[in-house]
């Protein structure tokens, strides 16, 4: 069956924008994640047919939610026996335990935001950290299993098994579908911060597709970070996370040129940066750094602040950035952080030092399919005049890159070396 391109585009946009709302609202009917997902997927499939005949509705989210919930009710009526056997995911009083004082600090839409309920459900402490993040990215954002796997640098089959186990754990443990009571929030916030950060990074540099930036994911991460900041205004991790998102996303408009081609930080027009966001982010960084010792997100935000406050690429204080990365690596050992530190070393001390710092990472299993490692090596090799080796590294990066905009940049760099 052929699909009207306009309808297909409308459904795709609704998937990006409305998936979390539709799924979370449907969960409250089905009382189970798998059935809710099935009903929501059916609703999107039905939209392809219905919208082609009756036109795209003005409120696509409402149409999809109504369709998914009707489908869920229909299935539950037909399978009454099975429905009675399902462990409850949602209690009769879904807001039980919610601090009533929060109602005064949020409007009705904010405190009732189904996305936030779904985040805390998926980030329940009975789940492992990786499962919490993966499940929330899958359910809250509607990312495919392959996209979540790329965010974690693991295989798709590994991620599929992880998500399935997490869903079963939620059902078996009867994890409630609600925002936790205030006394529970601190222990849950680290997991939620991890979720929101990965959500942002997936949108900031989309792992695949024709767009470099998935604005819907970036904006959703920013919304969630602001919600968390309102819930826990004194939490340094939440403050640092919001600062990091603001300071990184402030450069969004300068990351592509008029032709949609990637513009690296060194060549960006800093006038196009969002200086209001930078001002807000810097203030939040200073607040987050007052906590001792500084947390992971505060340090990452501080690195972003050094970039954003520099008048130009040439005046960037790379030695300070390396020092901040040293603190970050000690606090949060990660192959990706080590890679970013190695790149900073190359800019602070020269391309040879950068290659030396990158060398140990070439045998790191988690970076085996990570294109940025090969691209970083290629840049330093090119600066040293080692053209043949640089070409090989760029070709390796191309093999590992599925984002069209990034592939275009790497191809242009290869062409320049051939020239």
Quick one: pLDDT at residue 81?
54
What is the Cα gyration radius of the chain?
A: 23
Q: Is 153 left (phi over 0), alpha (psi -120 to 50) or beta?
A: left
Confidence at 111, pLDDT banded by 50, 70, 90: very low
pLDDT at 2: 64
Residue with tokens 């062409």: 415
pLDDT tens track for 296-325: 999 999 999 999 999 999 999 999 999 999
Return the percentage of the chain with pLDDT > 90, whole number.
Answer: 53
Alpha helix positions (H), 123-249 = 129-141, 145-152, 156-173, 185-204, 215-231, 236-249
**How many whole angstroms separate alpha carbon 373 and alpha carbon 359?**
10
Rounded distance between C-alpha atoms, residue 141 and residue 154, angstroms: 19
Distances (CA, A) of 252 to 26, 177, 263, 395: 34, 34, 10, 27
Backbone angles phi, psi at 90, to 5 degrees: -115, 125
- Residue 18 in tokens: 């409305």
Cis peptide before 293 (omega within 30 of 0): yes
The tokens of 247 are what? 């300071």
Residue 219: which of 11, 23, 25, 20 has the closest Cα?
A: 20
Q: Which of 373, 376, 326 is nearest to 351 (CA)?
A: 376
Contacts of 286 (CB under 8 A, 6+ apart): none
Q: What is the mean pLDDT of residues 70-89?
A: 70
Q: What pLDDT shows up at residue 113?
A: 59
**pLDDT for the residue 94:** 38
pLDDT band (50, 70, 90) for residue 68: very high
Q: Looking at the predicted structure, is the pLDDT value of residue 108 above 50?
A: no
Q: pLDDT (tens digit, 9 = 90+) per residue, 129-187? A: 778 878 877 887 777 888 888 777 788 999 999 898 888 888 888 777 777 777 777 77
pLDDT at 267: 96
> Residue 168, Cα to own-chain centre: how many angstroms?
23
| CATH class, range 5-81 | mainly alpha
Q: What is the pTM of this model?
A: 0.75
The residue to which tokens 């295989």 are assigned: 155
Torsion sign across C-alpha atoms 27, 32, 37, 42? negative
Domain map (residue ranges) of the chain: 5-81
Whole-number average pLDDT of the chain: 86
* Highest mean pLDDT of the ranges 32-36, 74-78, 148-152, 279-283: 279-283
pLDDT-wise least confident of 15-24, 192-201, 356-365, 380-389: 15-24
At residue 110 the predicted structure's pLDDT band, cuts being 50, 70 and 90, is very low
Sign for the pseudo-dihedral over CA of 196, 140, 145, 135: positive
Mean predicted confidence (pLDDT) in 353-382: 95
């Amino acid at each position: 069956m052929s699909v009207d391109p306009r309808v297909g585009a409308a459904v795709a946009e609704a998937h990006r924008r409305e998936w979390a709302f539709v799924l979370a609202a449907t969960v409250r009917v089905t009382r189970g994640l798998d059935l809710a997902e099935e009903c929501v997927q059916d609703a999107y499939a039905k939209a392809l047919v219905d919208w082609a005949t009756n036109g795209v509705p003005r409120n696509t989210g409402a149409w999809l939610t109504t369709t998914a919930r009707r489908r869920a009710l229909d299935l539950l009526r037909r399978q009454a026996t099975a429905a009675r056997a399902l462990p409850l995911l949602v209690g009769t009083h879904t807001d039980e335990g919610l601090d009533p004082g929060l109602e005064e600090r949020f409007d009705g839409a904010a405190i009732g935001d189904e996305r936030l309920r779904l985040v805390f459900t998926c980030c329940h402490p009975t789940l492992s950290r990786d499962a919490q993040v993966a499940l929330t990215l899958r359910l809250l954002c509607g990312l495919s299993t392959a996209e979540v796997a790329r965010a974690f640098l693991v295989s798709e089959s590994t991620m599929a098994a992880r998500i399935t186990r997490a869903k079963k754990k939620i059902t078996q443990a009867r994890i409630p579908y609600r925002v936790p009571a205030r006394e529970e929030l601190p222990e849950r916030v680290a997991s939620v911060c991890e979720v929101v950060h990965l959500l942002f990074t997936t949108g900031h540099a989309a792992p695949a597709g024709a767009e470099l930036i998935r604005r819907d994911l970036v904006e959703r991460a920013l919304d969630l970070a602001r919600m968390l900041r309102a819930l826990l205004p004194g939490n340094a991790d939440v403050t640092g996370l919001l600062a990091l998102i603001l300071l990184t996303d402030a450069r969004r408009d300068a990351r592509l040129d008029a032709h949609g081609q990637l513009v690296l930080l060194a060549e960006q027009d800093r006038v196009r940066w969002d200086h209001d966001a930078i001002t807000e982010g810097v203030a939040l960084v200073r607040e987050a750094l007052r906590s001792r010792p500084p947390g992971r997100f505060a340090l990452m935000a501080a690195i972003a602040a050094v970039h954003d406050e520099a008048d130009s690429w040439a005046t960037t204080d790379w030695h300070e950035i390396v020092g901040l990365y040293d603190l970050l690596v000690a606090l949060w050992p990660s192959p990706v952080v080590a890679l970013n530190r190695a790149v900073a070393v190359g800019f602070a001390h020269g391309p040879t030092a950068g290659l030396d710092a990158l060398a140990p990472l070439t045998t790191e299993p988690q970076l085996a399919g990570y294109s940025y490692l090969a691209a970083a090596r290629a840049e330093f090799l090119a600066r040293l005049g080692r053209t043949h080796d640089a070409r090989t590294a760029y070709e390796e990066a191309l093999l590992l890159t599925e984002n069209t905009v990034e592939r275009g940049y790497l191809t242009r760099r290869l062409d320049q070396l051939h020239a």
